[in-house]
A and B are shown apart, each in its own frame.
Chain A
Amino acid sequence: MKWFTKKSTDDAPGFWKAYLETFREPLPEFAHQTTYVAFDTETTGFDFNQDRILALGAVKILDNQIRLDDTLEIYTTQDHFNPDTVPIHGILHNPRHQTISELEMLKQFLDYIGNAPLIAHHANFDIGMINQALKRHGLPPLKNKVVDTMKFYRRGLITSNLVDKQRSYSLDEVAEKLNVPLKDRHTAAGDAFITALIFMKLWRRWEKKKSLKTKTLIRVQ
């Protein structure tokens, strides 16, 4: 397998450079002109060091729209496998989906996101998993701005002793409260789509004007 490692190191700087290049361009001034990427990962478990990404789904949001002809849905080839989490996401060790290597996943993902602000529910986890994968290939962590829909949601709640500000809200809970239809839970693409809808709803509830600045929206959480 020596040749494979060599090939990937040769390759890596290329797509990483292209990724960095996208950050030369500043984000558009207004929130509705900016493209955001909502994404979700399905993993073999919750340990950053041990566990791996099984599947990744991402959708783009621009001006309150999600285009279904431009989504990302990736299943990765696994060496590490944790049978405990199969009942949750239903992805088996030998899946029927066409799979690609972790490195290829990172390549496609970075190419897809560019400098777009990333949207995820419990974002620390998903970002952490991606960063670990990057690290395994000798690459630095993601540079994108991040909005966590869980924190965004919690911020909108009124202070009262019934609302525990420290409490964590699951994707199901938030989706139900915001009346987002829950389908395809526990597929990476389905969760990414739900997260995108949640983000759009929270955004418009919080600020309806078109003059909202991108900077302000990203800082909201």
Chain B
Amino acid sequence: MRNTISLRIADFLKSYPPFHLLEQEELKSIAEEITVQYNYKGEHLFKQEDPCKPYFYLIQQGAVEIYQNENGKEITLDQCDEGDLFGLRPLFAGKHYSISAKTLEESIFYLIPIQAFKPITVNNPKVSEYLLSSLASNTHTPYYTESPSRGNLDLTSDIHELQTVHYNKKLISCSKDTTIKDLAGLMNLHSVGSVVILEDGKPTGIVTDKDIRVKVASGNWDIQMPVKEIMNSPVICYPASLTASQAHLAMMKHRISHICITEDGTPNSNALGIVAEHDLIVSQGNNPYFLMKALLRAKKTKDLKKIRRNITALLEQYIKSNIPMTHISRVMFELNDATIKKCIALSIKKMNTPPPCKFAWMSLGSQGRKEQLLLTDQDNAIVFEDQDEASYPDIHTYFMELAKNVNKRLLKIGFDYCPADMMAGNPKWCLSLSQWKEQFSDWVKSPIDDHILLCQVFFDYDISYGELNLVNALADHIFKVTSDLPIFKANLARSALLNPSPMGFFRQFLLETNGEYKDFFDLKKRALIPITDAARVLILEHQVKNINNTFERYEKLAELEPQNRELYLSASYATKVLLKFRTRQGLMHGDSGRFIDLKSLSKEEKVKLKRCFNTIGDLQDLIKLRYKLVNLI
């Protein structure tokens, strides 16, 4: 019991290949030599042509992108995550890396020294075999990934066509004498659309859900009959080298929805897996319809994370092709919403019991306003039905546990925790309806700055899951208590003007003067927050519910106040421009896009930004005048 930490690390190693092949003693001695390394998102571990390090990498937590430079273009070869090995070249006497590795998120690595590991590969051919094949898959993957490229990957070209298909290796199969009923049971159990009938490992037939529909449900065949009566034979087979476009063509040609992958591509060799039309289309990735389908089918947080990368790629494509912001934000909202819903559903499943009463999950902040494009912080809350005093503690505990689980899942997908802890997992943000009402009444009555900030968050909410009535009851309450209090509105208005104007006296940009982002322009604080806050204050005057999106709020305002129509329309336009700006910056730097390096902007972009700022100034003047804030400040 001398080295507790390395014992634990040995435990971790044991569950990942090739370490599962090693003896406990071997694992222990390797674990004692390991170095643990932490890297922030976007850091290079090594670059192509760098001299090899004396160790290779195992990912304990996080994700890494392996890429290669070819003619000045970055080509993604692989994305590794937990339990994957990379940087194996030095094990095989390489002197320089032939690839580059960069973290996609913050990561923890176990660095395994070659010196300690080499003797094991010599004595254990299975281990070295595994490592050689990993090395190969790191370097020669014959497809280009369509995932978040931070560079100049050309997203419009049809690279996808050349990818080899990803086939499902978990083949669901049965024998030809199985009854149709049992086969349908198998399909339900594994939620698959097809079952392959195997004889000595070779595919002799296939039954798809279409066959069940056409042949069995129609009453032509009895469910007690063996499947050989209804199976399709021969099975259309291809080798694993099948490309996506080839698979598409084959399916069209044979009018089938499933292709079996076999060792030599004929029905006379062992079946390896199956390609379904559905999977093929989803792998095309950048199509919102199929991303949505994939989200709905996801079974694990890990699946959601992978889909997330495709969503980012879609966003990038949209921004590049200059698609209208209104459309982009709607599509992104739907995809984010589906992601959140899925997380909640997965977490509920994980709890031992179903929710003890009705509840609603509210998304606040940018997702509530349907403006969350990039992955930003999560802001959310839970409201549940009123309870009698006796059962309250248990129910509160249940929802707290659920909320923490959901918060954690969202974090794993890439939604960072809210730094102000405005999350359902905070006991203050997980309350029953009447407690929420009470809390609001308190906030409104003592409108110190903090309380105003909290109220603001709640004017921008969206229900993500659960009972709409609860959320509506809460919203009605908020409108009721605020409408009777003009002083509250004046305070809200005042806080909307708190954030400093984006322009200095000489019409120059105001840059941050200290901290990590010194000399950067804070787009969120100086432009997006003021324009969002202004919209919220102005729309509150008209008691308009259910429009939470900033540019839609301005459009509505233009309709409600014809005398200010022009200003509101330009505000709506400015919001879209600013959002697009932020998204583009975020995609470029792989972050939230909040801080802008002005040097990277063209003259034209700067002029455009300044025009938006003028609109913000005009809006702030309007608010000052309307709420007579001149003497208040």
Contact = CB atoms under 8 A, between A and B. Distances in A.
Interface of A: 57, 59, 64-69, 71, 73, 96-98, 156-158, 160-163, 176-177, 179, 181, 183-184, 187, 189-190, 193, 197, 200-201, 204-209
A68 B420 contact: no
B3 A73 contact: yes
Interface stretch (B35-43, B86-94, B198-206, B395-403): B35-43
B111 A65 contact: yes
9 A-B pairs closest in CB distance: A161-B450, A200-B38, A189-B4, A66-B36, A204-B40, A158-B420, A160-B420, A158-B419, A65-B37
A20 B114 CA distance: 37
B4 A68 contact: no
A201 to B, nearest CB: 7
Main secondary structure of the interface of A (DSSP, over half): mixed
A209 B40 CA distance: 11
B529 interface: no
B5 interface: yes
Given A68-B34, A69-B32, A200-B38, A184 B5 contact: yes
Contacts of B5: 59, 68, 71, 184, 189-190, 193
A197 B5 CA distance: 13
Contact of B419 (A69, A156, A197): A156
Contact of A160 (B3, B38, B412, B450): B450
A209 B4 CA distance: 33
A193 B428 CA distance: 32
A68 B36 contact: yes
A179 B3 CA distance: 24
Given A65-B37, A160-B420, A184 B4 contact: yes
26 contacts: A64-B37, A64-B38, A65-B37, A67-B35, A68-B5, A68-B33, A69-B33, A73-B2, A73-B4, A97-B2, A156-B419, A157-B421, A158-B420, A160-B420, A161-B451, A163-B421, A179-B106, A181-B60, A184-B5, A184-B8, A189-B4, A190-B5, A193-B36, A201-B38, A207-B516, A209-B516
Task: Assign chain B's interface to a size class.
Answer: 35 or more
A137 B426 CA distance: 46
A157 B516 contact: no
B411 interface: yes
Contacts of B537: none
A162 B422 contact: yes
Contacts of A209: 516
Given A181-B60, A184-B8, 13 more contacts: A66-B35, A66-B36, A68-B3, A158-B420, A160-B420, A160-B453, A161-B450, A190-B4, A190-B5, A197-B36, A197-B38, A204-B38, A207-B516
B269 to A, nearest CB: 43
B417 interface: yes
Contacts of B196: none
Contacts of B35: 65-68
A179 B426 CA distance: 17
Contacts of A71: 3, 5
A177 B426 CA distance: 12
Contact of B8 (A98, A162, A190): A190
Contacts of B39: 64
A68 B31 contact: yes
A57 B36 CA distance: 16
A61 to B, nearest CB: 9
B298 interface: no
Nearest to A97: B1
Contacts of B420: 157-158, 160, 162-163
Contacts of A206: 516
A91 to B, nearest CB: 11
Nearest to B42: A208
Contacts of B31: 68
A171 B473 CA distance: 39
Contacts of A162: 420-422, 426, 428, 454
Interface string B31-63: 111111111100000000000000000001100
B108 interface: yes
Contact of B9 (A65, A68, A97, A204): A68
Interface string B501-518: 000000000000000100
A30 to B, nearest CB: 16
A177 B421 CA distance: 10
Contacts of B38: 64-65, 197, 200-201, 204
A193 B110 CA distance: 13
Interface string B555-578: 000000000000000000000000
Contacts of A208: 40, 516
Contacts of A197: 36, 38, 108
A205 B105 CA distance: 12
B6 interface: yes
Contacts of A64: 37-39
Contacts of A207: 516
A176 B426 CA distance: 13
A157 B61 contact: no
A180 B34 CA distance: 18
A72 B111 CA distance: 20
A193 B5 CA distance: 7
Nearest to B38: A200
A156 B419 CA distance: 8
Contacts of A59: 5
Contacts of B450: 160-161
Interface string B258-295: 00000000000000000000000000000000000000
Interface string B56-87: 00001100000000000000000000000000
B15 to A, nearest CB: 13
Contacts of B4: 57, 73, 184, 187, 189-190
Contacts of A160: 420-422, 450, 453-454
A96 to B, nearest CB: 7
